[in-house]
Chain A
Amino acid sequence: MEIQPGIQIRNAVDSDIEFVIETIIQAEKGNGNSISYCKLFNINELEFRDVLDKILNEKICNFEFSLLNFKIAETNGIKVAAYAAWVEGIVGISSGILKISALKTFLQKENILHYKMSAPVVDEISIRRQPGTIQFESIYIVEEFRGKNIGKLLVEAQLTDLTVKHPEVEAAHVQLMKQNSVSLQAHQKYGFEVIKEKTSLNPQILNFYSGDTRVLMEIKLR
């Protein structure tokens, strides 16, 4: 695999918010070319982008919509990739509760009611994030920069930073839809192995995702 020369990896800052929003949107679309959040909350993509902008500007850490959890890859000042990671539950609150708190704050009550009806279907393939593990979420690499090892650089940069800050961490996890074979194979190259699968037999799951199975992948750190 060619290694792209001149790639710099750095922490995301305020001026990266637009690129981070694009990262989250494109990562979501990688799960089936649609955005599950839009279906869960009955909002369109523009509304979701607006909500993400508000959430990211809050700069609250330790969940997938935190600007401060993203690392950016750039070359010659051009942003080419991003990936988020954090240690689950390190502040005493789960990333799931943080995320739904953020969405509740910036969405309308009817959107939350829609979520209440829809979420049990998605929950059938949800895998609880293990407290104390590094969690990766939302990777996006600009198309012409794929296949150049940039994803691995981002994973390694996140692991290095987080294990220095939290040496007690024993594993890093990522959850993907099984049908997203490109991302699954890429993560195998980054060093992750599939350790768990969860499948829904409910056909309604396909209203939210293009597949019925979520996989949990792991890198053992110790």
Chain B
Amino acid sequence: MQTTIELITEVFATLLKRPGLKLTMTDSPDTVAGWDSLTHPELITAIEERLEIDFDFRELASIKTISDLVSLIESKL
């Protein structure tokens, strides 16, 4: 079964057109090329649609790293 970080990695690799991308829990927009304010809404929307969940603004404002995103997703599953 796919782990949460594997799912995020798959979404990021597809949308950022970076096959082979490897994300770690400490990654953030500062360390992942292409993860910026232009791509962020598309990345988040793809995760929301894939898992049929929704994030509110306060939740989105708490995402500083992949670890934060993993925790947020897992709190909703």
Contact = CB atoms under 8 A, between A and B. Distances in A.
B64 A55 contact: no
Interface residues of A, number: 25
Given A94-B29, A112-B45, A101 B61 contact: yes
Contacts of A99: 37
Task: Pick from B45, B56, B58, B60 the residue with the most CB of A within 10 Å.
Answer: B60
B27 interface: no
Interface string A32-71: 0000000000000000000000010010100000000000
Nearest to A54: B57
B44 A60 contact: no
Binding site of A, secondary structure by majority: helix, strand, loop or mixed?
helix
Contact of B61 (A60, A115, A119, A123): A60
A109 B63 contact: no
Given A93-B64, A97-B29, A116 B57 contact: no
B42 interface: yes
Contacts of A104: 40-41, 44-45, 60
Contacts of B29: 93-94, 97
Task: Pick from A96, A104, A115 the residue with the most CB of B within 10 Å.
Answer: A104
Given A58-B57, A94-B29, A106-B57, A123 B63 contact: no
Contacts of B64: 91-93
Given A96-B36, A96-B37, A116-B38, A101 B60 contact: yes
A106 B58 CA distance: 12
A116 B42 contact: yes
A120 interface: yes
A97 B37 contact: yes
A153 to B, nearest CB: 30
Interface in A104-119: 104-106, 109, 112, 115-116, 119
B40 A101 contact: yes
A102 interface: yes
Task: Pick from B40, B44, B56 the residue with the most CB of A within 10 Å.
Answer: B40
Nearest to B65: A92
Nearest to A116: B42
Contacts of A101: 40-41, 44, 57, 60-61, 63
Contacts of A91: 64
Interface string B59-72: 01101100000000
B74 to A, nearest CB: 19
B45 A98 contact: no
8 contacts: A93-B63, A96-B37, A97-B40, A100-B41, A101-B63, A105-B56, A105-B57, A120-B38
